[in-house]
Each structure stands twice: as structure tokens, then as C-alpha cells.
Amino acid sequence: MRRIASLEPTWRLTVVGAKPEGILLPTGPNIVYVGLVDRIEPYFQAAHAMLCPVFSGTGIKTKVLTAMAFRRPVIATAVALECIPAIDGVHVLQAETEDDFLAAMQRLVGDQTLQASLAIRAFELVRDHFSIQAISRNIASLVVQR
């Protein structure tokens, strides 16, 4: 991710969460490592987009869903999107390499219509599939089926 931080001097990369052990992370004047936080909401509110370069792990990535619920465009790997029925170019921008992330970021910065569309559709996806109401409907339908 070193090239992402150095590509555009006006961009700021804020990394929230624990630093992964054994991985050398980039440094620079426009990279801020916050570490673990008690409340993530202020960071989502301030963000223009969320990058999620996750390459291993299982299950739903709740931070991706949280970013979507905050109506922030998400650029993420296939692993980060596992269990989330997001469609590339509709709900998110999918990226697998640093070049993919760079291209997706440049695309987002240059297209406010795309930013708004991704944000709205991602919010709708979370509302329709992961809200309390959606989960309650799914549980109720399972109970009725038995």
C-alpha cells in the first residue's frame, strides 16, 4: 500500500485497528496509524471511502458492513466481501492487487456520481440483508417453514 499513500499528496490514509504482526507497513506524511479505538463511528463519518485489503480470514467482515451503513464507498478484496452479496461496480469496487486499489481510488475520486451510487446501493444492501428487520424476517420465515 506504499504506492497508494504516495500517489496523491492531498490524499490521507488513516489506518484504524491493530497493526498486523510481521508485516512492514508503509510510512509517510499522509499516513496516520490510529490503532485500536473505542468508537469507530467518527472515523467512518470523516472518511471519503473505506479500503479493505483483507487477504485471509473467514466470515462476515463487520467493518465492511459498517462502512456501507455509513454510506461510504468500499474498495475491498473478494475475501473481505465473503458472505456479503455485494456486486462489483454496484455496491462496492473490488480490488485484489495494489494496482487494482490505486485504479479504484482514482476512479472514485474522479466520479462523484459513482461515489454516491455505490454509497446508496451499499446502504440498501445492508438494510435489505443485514438490518434487524431483515434478519427478523429471515428467522420468521425459517420458523414458519418448520
Would you list the DSSP string of 60-108?
A: --HHHHHHHHTT--EEE-TTTTTTS---BTTTBEE--SHHHHHHHHHHH
User: Are the CB atoms for 37 and 18 separated by under 8 Å?
Assistant: no
CATH code for the domain of 81: 3.40.50.2000
d(CA 135, CA 137) in angstroms, rounded, equals 5
Structure confidence at residue 24 (pLDDT): 75
pTM for the model stands at 0.86
The total domain count for the chain is 1
User: Are the CB atoms for 53 and 26 separated by under 8 Å?
Assistant: no
Cell (9 digits) for 121: 446501493
Tens-binned pLDDT, residue by residue, of the chain (146 aa): 566 656 677 788 898 888 777 777 777 788 888 999 999 999 999 999 999 988 888 766 899 999 999 999 999 999 999 999 999 999 999 999 989 998 999 999 889 999 999 999 999 999 999 988 888 877 877 776 65
What's the angle, vertex CA 136, arms to CA 132 and CA 140, rounded to 5?
180
Print the domain residue range for 91. Answer: 2-145
Q: What are the C-alpha distances in Å from 82 to residues 8, 34, 66, 67?
A: 30, 26, 15, 15
